[in-house]
Amino acid sequence: MKRTLFTALLAAGLLSMGACKQDNKTEVGEAGMNQAATQAADAANPAVDNPNVTGETAAPNPNAPVMTFAESEYNFGDIKQGEVVKHTFEFTNTGKTPLLIDNAQASCGCTVPQWPKDPVAPGAKGTIAVEFNSTGKVGVQNKTITITANTQPNTTNIAIKGNVLDMANGPVRQ
């Protein structure tokens, strides 16, 4: 965006400097100057054919991998503050091509996901282990793990939740 604006301003400046002490607005007109600046900016910054950026909808790939979870949310229930709890989410690649997980990121630093780094073949199962550290947390906790993979769409969400008990002040319910 900044590059486009800079290029447009540069092109407009060059156009205005082209005539010695003459008002370009009278020769070219303001619309002509704007059109020239737009053309210069478009030439310097060609459009990228990326449906994720332009808002176009890509045709679904019938052979794309599909990540199908046995459960997409897990509730730890009540846990004591400071406790570290773990849960493993199991999934199956129900697509026709190998599933490649690029990343799994939690909505909070207190939650750490671990995912398979190797491709998951069609029909094969995989797991994503999630560890939640309740230190410094009190009350109901909802954490989302966003998985980025070669699926369509390319992100899938799973979630954990639980109620962290404040043992110093008694149970907290929200």
- The enclosing domain of 110 has a CATH number of 2.60.40.10
Average pLDDT on 101-127 reads 97
Distances (CA, A) of 99 to 12, 116, 124: 50, 10, 9
pLDDT tens digit sequence for 8-58: 444 444 444 444 444 444 455 555 556 655 565 565 554 444 444 444 556
In a domain, 62, yes or no: no
Q: Domain range holding 134?
A: 67-165
**Residue 153 predicted with pLDDT over 80:** yes
Which candidate, 52, 159, 156, places its Cα nearest to that of 94?
156
Contact 115, 122 (CB under 8 A): no
The number of domains in the chain is 2
Same domain, 138 and 88: yes
pLDDT over 90 at 117, yes or no: yes
Are residues 36 and 92 both part of a single domain?
A: no
Pair (27, 76) in one structural domain: no
> Two tokens at 128?
């994503």
* pTM, rounded to two decimals: 0.64
**Could you tell me if residue 173 is inside a domain?**
no
